[in-house]
Amino acid sequence: MFLNHGSFGACPRPVFETYQRWQLELERQPVAFLGRDLSERMRQPRIALSAFLGTGPDNIVGLVNATEGLNIVAQSLDLQPGDEILTTDHEYSALEKTWAYVARRTGAKIVTVKVPLPLVSEAEFTATLLAGMTERTKVLFLSHITSPTALVFPIEPAIAEARKRGIWSVIDGAHTPGHIPLDFDAMGVDFYSGNCHKWLMTPKGSAFLFVRPELQGMINPLVISHGWTADSKQPGAKGAFGNSPFIDELEMQGTRDPAAWLTVPAALDFRRDHGWDGVAADCRALAQETAARLRALTGLSALSSPEFCAPQMVAMPVPHIEDPVDFQKRLNERYGIEIPVFNWQDHSIVRVSVQGYNSKPQMDLLIEALTDMLALGQQPAKARQHG
């Protein structure tokens, strides 16, 4: 059974069929598809998705994944030696590497603040970040939903404060589209990249980058291709396909398969047609109930109060696991359970994702498996408690 939608989730059949139709059309008529029609086709998902994200269609571009979107931003920012990139100790490893690469190339410095756990207060979270801001801070980089800890960071006040101080906010929203409501214009964020291939349930290889209109001129593509024009940085310049340079330079890059991006409208229709807000509410209830059962089982406290827990993804501390890779493999072999198990800081963590295809009996089996494999039935819970 599959309890790891957070890493790579399933795509609903009608959305996947739409994906395959796009791919068939591309292979049947590649010249028309990639040569004549692509720019217009890329626009339709932008129109549908931007409305869902609370912004205009000219403020997002379709990409392959959030790592790409965040790399575009990180490598576009004009950073100087000594500039500071403020971030937290909950960030995703690939993006930690991105910023380390940027810091090495520019001489900027990464300042990592430790977010106090359990996360129970927006004010405390914001104060922790503000305490890390200095005259040299140029970038605030935060996950909106964190990967190792599955927390929803209350990012809005820190973004507002960053804006006041002239600090660029760069948000990693890999887990947010289709998982929590988003309204970029209200949020006032500068740069935000998110995946459609997680909780919006498109096929893999579908993501977007949002950039506030005033900052789009700062963005440079990682790959120079057909969309680029020599005068793209001139005021009022158009891109090679008649959109803004931001859109044309990022979307029109060499020969590639855009089918996953083109399924975004179908994924949004699927949510609407199946009352997905209701499905998600049921998933959230099941996730919270499972978390409570795991807490009762292990005697270990949660990493946050419920309001900061990702609705459909819960990272639960469990008693220390020496070899989490082996533990995860054995859970799969013995019980057929696919779930992430890892050590993060001084916690061993099991991260449970709950999507529309998961069920209460699956959670029962998870509890049974963990009870067995962590030998939790055998000693009183109190003896295992910590902080």
List of residues contacting ligand PLP (CB under 6 A): 7, 65-67, 92, 94-95, 143, 147, 172, 174-175, 195
Neighbours of 320 (CB within 10 A): 13
Question: Which residues are within 8 A (CB) of 65 and not within 5 positions of it... i.e. 6 or more apart?
Answer: 195, 197, 205, 207
Which CB atom, from 106 or from 176, has the smaller least distance to ligand PLP? 176
The smaller minimum CB distance to ligand PLP, of residues 77 and 376, is found at 77
* C-alpha–C-alpha distance, residues 122 and 155, integer Å: 8
Q: Which is nearer to ligand PLP, 63 or 219 (CB)?
A: 63
Task: Determine contact, residues 303/119, Cβ cutoff 8 Å.
Answer: yes
Nearer to ligand PLP, 232 or 353 (CB): 353
CB distance 185 to 54 below 8 Å: yes
Query: Which is nearer to ligand PLP, 39 or 195 (by Cβ)?
Result: 195
First to last CA, the chain: 32
Distance CA 113, CA 101 (A): 19
Name the amino acid, one letter, at 87.
Answer: T
Q: Rounded CA gap, 147 and 150, in Å?
A: 5
Question: Residue 295 in contact with residue 118, Cβ under 8 Å?
Answer: no
Of 94 and 279, nearer to ligand PLP (C-beta) is 94
Specify whether the backbone of 116 is left (phi greater than 0), alpha (psi in -120 to 50) or beta. Answer: beta
Closest separation in Å from C-beta 103 to ligand PLP:
18
Q: How far is the CB of 360 from ligand PLP (least distance, A)?
A: 26
Least separation in angstroms between residue 323's CB and ligand PLP is 22
Q: Report the distance separating Cα 276 and Cα 281, nearest Å.
A: 8
| Angle (nearest 5°) at CA 169 between 184 and 343 | 100
Shortest Cβ 216–ligand PLP spacing (Å):
21
In the complex, minimum distance from the CB of residue 195 to ligand PLP, in angstroms, rounded to a whole number: 5
Tell me whether residue 206 or residue 358 sits nearer to ligand PLP (CB atom): 206
Considering the complex, what minimum distance in angstroms separates the CB of residue 90 from ligand PLP? 9
Residue 169's beta-bridge partner residues? 140
Smallest gap from residue 112 Cβ to ligand PLP (A): 15
Q: What are the Cα distances from residue 18, in Å, to 24, 28, 259, 272?
A: 10, 15, 9, 16
Nearer to ligand PLP, 67 or 202 (CB): 67
Provide the residue type at 156 as one letter: E
